[in-house]
Amino acid sequence: MAEEITVIKSEYVTSAVSKKTCPEETLPEIVFVGRSNVGKSSLINSLTRRKSLARTSGTPGKTQTINFFRVTLKTADDVRKEIFFVDLPGYGYAKTSKTNRKLWAKFVDEYLSSGRDIKFVCQLVDMRHEPMESDLQSFKSLVEKNLPVLVVATKSDKIGKTERKKHLDAIQKSLNVDAESILPYSSAKNEGRSELLDVVINSLIE
């Protein structure tokens, strides 16, 4: 393990607004989902070591498209792999209307069920708080679709070392997953980056 994975290229491909506007190209896909403002765009920027590949914002609820990024990884033994990172629109934005919420669910559901080569989904939750009802719903619907899910606990830099275990335990309990299925991540400090890239590479091999 602890293989050195490097991201040698990353580029924005497209923003899809329907199943039809997703890229025709097939590549293995790693998907990121979570509440607005949980840190999805920051995570993609951290993984690719790009400052603003995915736009980040202090104002939640902006991204209502499925954004595709083509990423080239290189393993320690110089094997190159192309994949898509897929940034789903954030859910749980309080100011969004019911109609919008339904449209979101339909669109995301369609994408997740359309038979694309999804290797796994990162369900992001804010490490500072217990998962909210919308997080539980999202997680449950991924599991129901038989998609492998990795829970990524974001903004880990905002939690003191002594408080970490308590917060991770609460998330674990609430989602009813093993401790190994939760990865603490800090985009600010790149904590969890090499671990997540390892999971990505392993998902391509299996």
Ligand X SMILES: Nc1nc2c(ncn2[C@@H]2O[C@H](COP(=O)(O)OP(=O)(O)O)[C@@H](O)[C@H]2O)c(=O)[nH]1
Non-local CB neighbours of 159 within 8 Å, separated by 6+ positions: 127, 128, 167
55 or 80, CB closer to ligand X? 55
Non-local CB neighbours of 89 within 8 Å, separated by 6+ positions: 63, 64, 65, 66, 104, 107, 108
> The tokens of 139 are what?
């997680």
Minimal distance in Å, beta carbon 42 to ligand X?
3
**What is the residue whose two structure tokens read 């038989």?**
146
Cα gap 57→61, rounded to integer Å: 9
User: 157, exposed or middle or buried, with CB in 10 Å at 0-12, 13-18, 19+?
Assistant: middle
Q: Which of residues 37-66 bind Mg ion (CB under 5 A)?
A: 40-41, 63
At 96, which amino acid appears?
T
Residue 38 near which of Mg ion, ligand X, none (CB within 5-8 Å, type-dependent):
ligand X
Residue 167 near which of ligand X, Mg ion, none (CB within 5-8 Å, type-dependent):
none
What are the backbone dihedrals phi and psi of residue 196, each rounded to the nearest 5 degrees, phi first?
-70, -40
Minimal distance in Å, beta carbon 87 to ligand X?
7
Residue 48 near which of ligand X, Mg ion, none (CB within 5-8 Å, type-dependent):
none
Residue 67 interacts with Mg ion (CB under 5 A): yes or no: no
Residue 7 near which of ligand X, Mg ion, none (CB within 5-8 Å, type-dependent):
none
Q: Which residues of 28-52 are buried (b: 16+ CB within 10 A; e: fewer)?
A: bbbbbbbbbbbbbbbbbbbbbebee
Q: Is 28 strand, coil or helix?
A: coil
Minimal distance in Å, beta carbon 83 to ligand X?
19
Minimal distance in Å, beta carbon 199 to ligand X?
18
Interface pattern 130-149 for Mg ion (x via CB under 5 A) = --------------------
Minimal distance in Å, beta carbon 3 to ligand X?
24
User: Which parts of this chain interact with ligand X (CB under 6 A)?
Assistant: 34, 36-42, 56-58, 60, 90, 154-155, 157-158, 186-188
